[in-house]
């Protein structure tokens, strides 16, 4: 139950940060929004992995515990992919000014 609240809060944070990034033009806020979105996806993958791992059957009387490892690999891949995309965006675009500084600073408060 707590995991679902965490996912909901991260969805709210990702949405808020993405909106502020669009309004201000801040690449840092956009990167933070992507980071929060990756946290949401990672939480969902881990939660699904844990729920699947608890299932037991005749063939697997101790459960499908290897699914936890696969979920961890998927989360690691997502984190590396997000870092790559953020770095690619930062290096591919020229330096730009934040168009609306008060909006960008609203996220810092």
61-84 pLDDT, tens per residue?
666 777 778 888 888 898 888 888
Enclosing domain of residue 41 = 2-108
The answer to whether residue 56 scores a pLDDT higher than 80 is no
| pTM for this entry | 0.67
The burial class, CB within 10 Å (0-12 / 13-18 / 19+), for 71 is: buried
Phi, psi of 4 (to 5 degrees): -65, -40
How many domains are contained in the chain?
1
């Amino acid at each position: 139950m707590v995991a679902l609240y965490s996912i909901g809060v991260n969805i709210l944070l990702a949405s808020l940060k993405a909106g502020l990034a669009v309004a201000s033009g801040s690449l840092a806020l956009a990167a933070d929004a992507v980071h929060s979105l990756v946290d949401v996806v990672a939480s969902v993958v881990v939660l699904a992995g844990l729920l699947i791992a608890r299932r037991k059957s005749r063939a697997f009387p101790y459960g499908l515990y290897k699914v936890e490892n696969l979920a961890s690999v998927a989360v690691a891949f997502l984190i590396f992919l997000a870092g790559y995309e953020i770095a690619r965006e930062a290096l591919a675009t020229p330096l730009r000014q934040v168009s609306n500084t008060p909006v960008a600073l609203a996220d810092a408060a």
